[in-house]
Structure 1
Amino acid sequence: MNATNQTELLRVLPYARRYARALTGARSSGDELVAAALSEPLPDIAPRLALYAAVARAAPASGPDGLQRNLLLLTALEDLTVDDAATILGIDRELAERELEAGRLALRASAATDILVIEDEPVIALDLKRLVETCGHRVVGIAASEAAAVRLAAQKRPGLILADINLGRGGDGSNAVARIQEAMTVPVIFVTAYPERLLTAEGVEPTFIISKPFEPLALAIATYQAVNGGRVPDVSIAS
């Protein structure tokens, strides 16, 4: 592989790690998946697509549900086109579109949970609230500061936390999450404009990250993956 391709692979590596973590539902298993992918020759396609393809290929086989999960994550979370997702997964566009729609239908049938939003910007917080409620979830509190987040989490015992990193004068969202997780086990999705800053391979990194600005479908997929540990909904219950 030439130097240009190596440089491009290093640039997109944080995003491939995000994809792998969302795919497996855990930080450690996601990183193990990326390591396994990099231990094998990469497909002869564009470097970014090749890395995603290697991760998808290294993932445990999981049938049609796994295909739908990959398509949803690649197109919504990683913001790739359907054509690129089809290339990554080695399928034709028609199949990709059909399975993607089936995955979206199944996603709408997924179970709801109680969500705590940690965000200091009122407009963004209300937008997050609206979007997660559209996905069928319940927002049990909005915290604009680190202290309020810890207090609300103890009171409401949420099933999921959506957290920004920078809370302005209110503190740090990652510190709030760390304090909350000392008292309870709860999945967390970090919402940030700079996801690569959270995937530096230094210190403790989050499992689930979505980028600002984000599409509602990306948020829906991330919340499902976080709550269900990487499992996809059973498409047979979709109507």
Structure 2
Amino acid sequence: MSQVTDTSLSAQIGANLPYLRRYARALTGSTASGDAYAAATLEAILSDPAQFDAAHGPKAGLFRVFHAIWSSSGAQMDDEFAPGSLQAKAQDHLRRLTPNTREALLLHTVEGFDITPLAFVMNATAEEVSELVDIAYAEMARSVSGKVMIIEDEAIIAADLESIVAEMGHRITGIARTETRALELAAEEKPDLILSDIQLADQSSGIDAVNRILDRDGEVPVIFITAYPERLLTGEGPEPAFLISKPYTEQQVRSAVSQAMFFASTETLKA
């Protein structure tokens, strides 16, 4: 086990905590539940620093402690949603997936763990986690389809995102380069999912555009794409549950879209 000083431990955990919180929120489908699991992870390490094993890097060490807690709690997803609500129905759907597949997929594609450290985090073999990732892709592809709106001012990136999302079987309602156009598109046809950049062509904010759409049209799952994820994962104020870092990979987009779409309208969920 890699031993670290208290100062080094604090620095290594602090640098990777925003990514743990991002992962925990995507995994549970809830900001509150995700942050509660992240807090429990920190408490466990503070009570017994020997649990933090940085043999595969500090991020893997932090996520491994999280997974020990997640597994021992029965991998409980958020139960704060009202019975019969869209969110509660989505969570029921998630519970029918093969155990550990969502975890493996998120860790591999969104958090960027290669198979060896991924196996370390999940306390499994490389063969087992590779199979879990394959199963996750197949199950999620069969489970959801819907309408996606893209807010992105760079034409090449917008076209790339459109191609990836369309190949997954979703329909693109339109591409907006500005906040004004985003509002117009959402009014023309409410999407099941919004994929949004942060900085737009006219110097407007993708975050402001999304907030105005949600205030006007009601809840819609959102994935933000940014070159500076740490600026949105500060622990201060509202934060996104789904976040992709630039430069992104096709796998990251596919994984995040599949995850977020689970929390879209129940009309997009197939039994």
TM-score, normalised with respect to structure 2: 0.80
Q: Deviation digits for residues 133-192 of structure 1, max 9, x if unmatched?
A: 111111101110001111111211000000000003251000001101102110100011
Q: Separation in 1 of the partners of 2:140 and 2:193?
A: 17
- Residues of 2 paired with 1:134 and 1:57: CA distance? 35
Contact 2:150 2:194 in 1 (8 A): yes
Distance in 1, Cα, partners of 2:99 & 2:199: 34
Aligned-partner Cα distance in 2 for 1:79–1:217: 10
Partner of 2:172: 139
Once the two structures are superposed, residues 191-210 of structure 1 have per-residue CA deviations (whole angstroms, 9 ceiling, x without a partner) of: 11111111011122111101
Cα pair 2:105 2:132 within 8 Å, conserved: no
User: Displacement, 1:110?
Assistant: 2.6
Residues 9 and 51, structure 1, Cα contact 8 Å, conserved in 2: yes
Contact 2:144 2:262 survives alignment (8 Å)? no
- Segment of structure 1 superposing worse, 62-71 or 138-147: 62-71
Deviates more, 1:34-43 or 1:109-118: 34-43
**DSSP-derived class of the 1:65 partner:** coil
- Which has the bigger relative contact order, CA under 8 A and spacing at least 6? 1
Structure 2 residue corresponding to 1:95, chosen from 120, 124, 128: 128
Which residue pairs with 2:259 in the alignment?
225
Contact 2:144–2:261 (CA under 8 A) maintained in structure 1: no
Give me the whole-angstrom Cα distance separating, in 2, the residues matched to 1:70 and 1:15: 14
1:57 matched to 2:91? The reply is no
**SS of alignment partner, residue 109 of structure 1:** helix
**One of 213, 223, 229 as aligned partner of 1:189:** 223
Instruction: Give the whole-Å Cα distance in 2 for the aligned partners of 1:180 and 1:34.
Output: 30
Q: Cα offset for 1:54?
A: 2.3
Q: Structure 2 CA distance, aligned partners of 1:32 and 1:110?
A: 28
Determine if the alignment matches structure 1 residue 208 to structure 2 residue 262.
Answer: no
Q: Distance in 1 between matches of 2:170 and 2:191?
A: 11
Instruction: Work out the CA distance in 2 between the residues paired with 1:219 and 1:61.
Output: 28
Aligned to 1:117: 150
Shift in Å, 1:108: 2.5
**Residue aligned with 1:29, SS:** helix
Q: 1:116 offset after TM fit, Å?
A: 0.6
Aligned residue for 1:168, secondary structure, equals: coil
Match of 1:39 among 31, 40, 43: 43
User: Is structure 2 residue 117 aligned with structure 1 residue 84?
Assistant: yes
Identity %: 38
Alpha carbons 1:118, 1:162 under 8 Å: kept: yes
1:71 aligned partner, one-letter code: A
Aligned partner (choices 20, 32, 37) of residue 16 of structure 1: 20
**Secondary structure in structure 1 of the residue aligned to 2:247:** coil
Distance 1:20 1:221 in 2: 15
- State the alpha-carbon separation in 2 of the partners of residues 48 and 68 from structure 1: 20
CA distance in 2, matches of 1:134, 1:115: 12
Match of 1:72 in 2: 105
Runs of 5+ consecutive residues of structure 1 not aligned to the other structure: 231-236
Out of 162, 171, 184, the position equivalent to 2:204 is: 171
Contact kept in structure 1, 2:214 and 2:220, CA below 8 Å: yes
How far did 1:85 drift? 0.8
2:35 & 2:67 partners in 1: Cα distance? 13
Secondary structure of the residue aligned to 1:161 is strand
Residue 140 of structure 1 aligns to a residue whose secondary structure is strand
Inter-partner Cα distance in structure 2 for 1:44 and 1:203: 29
